[in-house]
Amino acid sequence: MKKALFCFLLLISISGFSQSESTLVTFENPTSVAKPKGYSHAAVVDLGNCKMVVLSGEVPFDKQGNLIGAGDMKKQAEQVFRNIQNILTDLGGTMDNVIKLGFYITDVSQIQAIRDARDQFINLKNPPTSILVEVNKLFRNDVLIEVEATAIIPKKVGQAN
C-alpha cells in the first residue's frame, strides 16, 4: 500500500511540474547571446508579483559564439557579465536584480581581475550573494571562467510573465 501511494504521489508531482507543460516555469534563449546547444540560457519561474530567473553558466562568447579575451581572465569575465546583463535586460530586468552569483574559474590567483570586471556590472552598495570555486578545467581549455546567476525581477503592473 505504501509503495502504491508513493508511486501515485510521484506521478502527480512529475506531471504537475513537467518542463513541457508547466506555465510556472518557462525556458528562454534570448537572441542577444550565442544560441546554446542542448540547454537553455534561462529558466524563468513565475512567483506572482515577480519572477525568478535562473541562468545557466555563462561563458565568454559573443553573440556569434566567438571566444572573447583568449588568455585574459578580466576580458573573459567582462564578456560573461555582458552576457548576463544582456539576458536579464531581454527578460525585463537589470543587474540590480541579481541576488546570487556562482563563479567557476580555472585560476584563483586571478580573483582581482574577476572582481574588477564584476564590479563594473553589479550593485556595489547591495552586492549579491556569491560563491567561487576553482576548477581544474572547464568545458574548453581556452575558457577560463563560467558564471551562473539568479535574479528576482519585479513584474510591472499588468505584466503576465
* CA–CA dist 114, 2 (Å, integer): 52
HSE-up of 23 (CA within 13 Å, CB side)?
3
Residue 1: its pLDDT value, please? 47
DSSP state of 69: S
DSSP alpha helices (H): ranges in the chain? 2-16, 73-90, 111-118
pLDDT recorded at residue 17: 47
pLDDT along the chain (161 residues), means of 10: 42 44 84 93 95 97 96 98 97 97 98 98 96 97 98 80 57
pLDDT reported for residue 9: 37
Specify whether the CB–CB gap between 88 and 28 falls below 8 A: no
CATH code of 23-154, in short, is: 3.30.1330.40
Domains in the chain: boundaries: 23-154
Q: What is the pLDDT of residue 88?
A: 97
